[in-house]
Amino acid sequence: MLFTLSEMDRILRKLLKLPDSGGKKETIIELMNTKQWRNYNHLVKSYLGNALHVLNQMTDTKMISFTLRRLQYSSVFLAAFPSLLRKYIKVALHFWGTGGDALPVVSFLFLRDLCVRLGSDCLDECFRGIYKAYQCSMPHHSSQEAYRKVYEWKFINCLELWTGAICTYSSEADFRPLAYPLTQIISGVARLVPTARYFPLRLRCVKMLNRISAATGTFIPVSMLLLDMLEMKELNRPPTGGVGKAVDLRTTLKASNPILKTRAFQEACVLSVVEELAEHLAQWSYSVAFFELSFIPAVRLRSFCKCTKVERFRKEMRHLIRKIEANDEFTNERRASVTFLPNDNAATSFLEDEKKMGTSPLSQYVTTLRQRAQQRNDSMMESSVLVGEKSAVFGKKLDQIPDSDEEDDIKNDDGATVFSSSWLPGGDSRANLPKEEEKKKKKKKKKKGMEQDEGVGDDEDVVEDLVLSSDEDEEDTAEEDGNEEQLGGSRQQNKKQKPKNLSNKNVRSHHHAKNNKSKKRKRAKLN
C-alpha cells in the first residue's frame, strides 16, 4: 500500500505521457480522446476507487492524512470520473469537519487543489459543503452567555458591516457568493429568540435582508419574519402600560417589560412591520409572479385585521392590503397578454419600463412610507416626545427658534419677557413679576408678621398657611383694612416683650412653665 500510494501517480503520468505534476481539467479532456487513455484508464479508475475505499475504512488520522496527501497529486484525474469526484468531495468534507490533529488542514488543501484544477465542476459544491460542515462543527451552546454573544451590538454591527460590503460590491465575482451564507446567518439570528422583547433586533435583521435582496436581485422570504410578529399577543391587544415615551427602534436591540405594554412600543413595531413588508413587496411589484408571491401575506394581513382589537392598527393594515390588491391588478393586466413561460429569460424583462419609472401602486406607497418614517425619526432626534395625537407639536416649534443673528430683534419683542431670567430655575422672580402679584406677596408678608407677633413658631406658620379657617380669613381682611401705623406700633411693642431669636423649643418650655404655675395656684386654693 505504501508503494502504491507513493509511486502510482508517477507511473500513471508516465504511461499517459503527462507532465510529472500539475495539470488542468482541459488536459484530461484532451487526453480522453487518445489511445493511451483507452489503454490505461481502467488503471486510473481502479487506483482512485480502491484508494477511496481505503479512506472509508481507515480510523487512524495519520494514515488518512498520508493517503490524502498522496491522492492530492492525482486529483486532476477525477475530472474524468464525476461520480468518484462527488464521493471524494463528500469524504474530504467529512474529514475537514470532524478530523483531529493535522487532518482538517490536509482535507482542506485537498479540496482547494480540486477547486483549482477542476474549476466549476466542484467549486460551488465545495463552497456549500464547507459552509454546512462548518455550521455542523460549531458548538451549539444553550446557555444565556451564548445567546448574549449573538444578541449584542458587536455581533449585529459585524452583520451590518458585511451587509454593506456585499450590497456595495454585489456585482463582484468574489463577493456575490457570500450573499447566501450571510442571508442564512441573519435569518437565524432573527429567529433565535422569537419573543416580543427582541422585536427591535428582528426588524434590524429584516432591514439587512431587504438591502441584500435589492442589491443582488435575489428573492429572500422576509415576509414570514414580519407576519409572525403580528400574531404575538403584545401587538394584538390594547396597551396596559399607558402611552409611554417614543421608542426609537434604531438605537435598541431589546425592549424592557414595561415598555412592551405601552402604546408607543406597539405603534413603533406595527408601523415598522408595515414599512418593511411594503419595501419587500415593492421590490417584486413588477414581477410576473407577484400575485402568487403576495397571496399568503395578504391572507395573513386580513386575519390580523379580524383579530386585532386596536382600530388604528386595523386601519393601517387595510391600507396596505388595498395597495397589494391594486398591485395585483397592475401586474395581472399585463400578465394576461404574455406568451413566454415562467422559466424563459423574457420573464426578467416583464414590466421593465414601468419599473424604471416606479409606477406600481406599491412603489408609490413605499415612497409615502419613507417620508413618514423620516419625519418620525426627525422628531425623535429633535426631542423626546410622547406618542399620541399631538406628539410632533414640540418638534415643529423647534423649527421656529430664530438664529443668533436675530437676538437683537428678539430683545425688543414683547413676547421675550416670557423667557426672562424669572422663567429659569434660580432666577430673580421679583424682577419681572406683574404688580398684582407683588401686592399679593406683600399681603402674605403682613399675615406672617401678624402670626409672628402672636408667638407662633415656624412649624405652625406652615400648617396655618396650608389650612386656614373662615374666621381667620375675616380677621386677616379686617387687619389689612386697618391703619398701617397701628400695625407698626403693635409690632414694636411685641418686639420689646419677646426676644428676637426665640425658637420653637423655648416657646414650648415657656408655655409649659406657665401651666405648671397655674396648677400650683389651684392646689394652694383648694388646700
Q: Where are the domains of the chain?
A: 198-340+349-381
Instruction: Tell me if 166 sits within 8 A of 216, measured CB to CB.
Output: yes
Range 265-283 average pLDDT: 92
Nearest Cα neighbor of 326 from 367, 357, 290 is 290
Better-scored residue on pLDDT, 427 or 443 = 443
Tell me how far apart the alpha carbons of residues 382 and 370 are, in angstroms, rounded to a whole number: 18
Average pLDDT, the chain: 76
pLDDT value of position 515: 55
pLDDT of 450 > 70? The answer is: no
pLDDT of 507 > 60? The answer is: no
pLDDT value of position 458: 41
pLDDT of 323 > 50? The answer is: yes
pLDDT value of position 396: 40
Nearest Cα neighbor of 208 from 171, 272, 161, 147 is 161
Q: Could you give the C-alpha distances from 34 to 45, 117, 305, 342, in angstroms and in order?
A: 16, 21, 72, 43
CB atoms within 10 A of CB 504: 12
Tell me how far apart the alpha carbons of residues 460 and 121 are, in angstroms, rounded to a whole number: 98
CA Rg value for the chain? 43
pLDDT value of position 449: 54
pLDDT value of position 310: 82
Tell me how far apart the alpha carbons of residues 156 and 203 are, in angstroms, rounded to a whole number: 12
- Angle ∠(269,273,274) on CA atoms, nearest 5: 120
pLDDT, tens digit (0-9, with 9 covering 90-100), for 289-310: 889 999 999 999 999 998 888 8
Tell me how far apart the alpha carbons of residues 361 and 286 are, in angstroms, rounded to a whole number: 10
pLDDT value of position 311: 85
DSSP assignment, residue 129? H
pLDDT of 426 > 60? The answer is: no
Tell me how far apart the alpha carbons of residues 436 and 128 are, in angstroms, rounded to a whole number: 84
pLDDT value of position 299: 93
Grid coordinates given for 171: 456585482
The number of C-alpha atoms within 13 Å of 191 and in the hemisphere containing its C-beta is 12
DSSP, collapsed to helix, strand or coil, labels residue 13 as: helix
Tell me how far apart the alpha carbons of residues 168 and 162 are, in angstroms, rounded to a whole number: 10
pLDDT value of position 455: 43
- What are φ and ψ of residue 427, in 5° steps? -80, 170
pLDDT value of position 90: 92
Q: How confident is the model at residue 519 (pLDDT cuts 50, 70, 90)?
A: low
Q: Position of cell 483531529?
A: 100
Residues 6+ apart with CB under 8 A from 518: none
pLDDT value of position 500: 44
Instruction: Tell me if 201 sits within 8 A of 253, measured CB to CB.
Output: yes
CB atoms within 10 A of CB 286: 23
* Spacing of C-alpha 240 from chain mean position: 23
Q: What percent of the chain has pLDDT over 70?
A: 70
Instruction: Tell me if 193 sits within 8 A of 263, measured CB to CB.
Output: no
Better-scored residue on pLDDT, 245 or 397 = 245
Grid coordinates given for 514: 406657665
pLDDT value of position 473: 42
Nearest Cα neighbor of 190 from 149, 220, 150 is 150
Least confident of 53-62, 144-153, 284-293: 144-153
Q: How confident is the model at residue 399 (pLDDT cuts 50, 70, 90)?
A: very low
Direct distance between the N- and C-terminal alpha carbons of the chain, in angstroms, rounded to an integer: 136
Residues 6+ apart with CB under 8 A from 408: none
pLDDT, tens digit (0-9, with 9 covering 90-100), for 107-152: 999 999 999 888 877 888 888 888 888 776 655 576 677 778 888 8
Tell me how far apart the alpha carbons of residues 398 and 38 are, in angstroms, rounded to a whole number: 87
Better-scored residue on pLDDT, 261 or 92 = 92
pLDDT, tens digit (0-9, with 9 covering 90-100), for 144-189: 777 788 888 999 999 999 999 999 998 888 788 889 999 999 999 9
- What are φ and ψ of residue 147, in 5° steps? -65, -40
Q: Position of cell 430673580?
A: 428
Instruction: Tell me if 207 sits within 8 A of 276, measured CB to CB.
Output: yes
Instruction: Tell me if 128 sits within 8 A of 93, measured CB to CB.
Output: no
Tell me how far apart the alpha carbons of residues 492 and 485 are, in angstroms, rounded to a whole number: 11
Q: What percent of the chain has pLDDT over 90?
A: 33
| Segment holding 291, helix H or strand E | helix 290-307
Least confident of 68-72, 203-207, 410-414, 515-519: 410-414
Range 509-527 average pLDDT: 52
DSSP assignment, residue 345? G
pLDDT, tens digit (0-9, with 9 covering 90-100), for 202-221: 999 999 999 999 999 899 99
| CB contact burial 24-38 (16+ within 10 A = b; e otherwise) | ebeebeebeeeeebe
pLDDT value of position 134: 76
Grid coordinates given for 167: 450590497
pLDDT value of position 351: 80
DSSP assignment, residue 482? S
Q: Could you give the C-alpha distances from 108 to 73, 81, 96, 126, 525, in angstroms and in order?
A: 14, 21, 6, 10, 119
CB atoms within 10 A of CB 232: 13
Least confident of 71-75, 238-242, 267-271, 455-459: 455-459
Q: Could you give the C-alpha distances from 521 to 83, 203, 510, 512, 517, in angstroms and in order?
A: 127, 88, 17, 15, 6
Alpha-helical (H) ranges within 17-121 are 25-31, 35-57, 61-72, 82-98, 103-118
Least confident of 64-68, 189-193, 455-459: 455-459
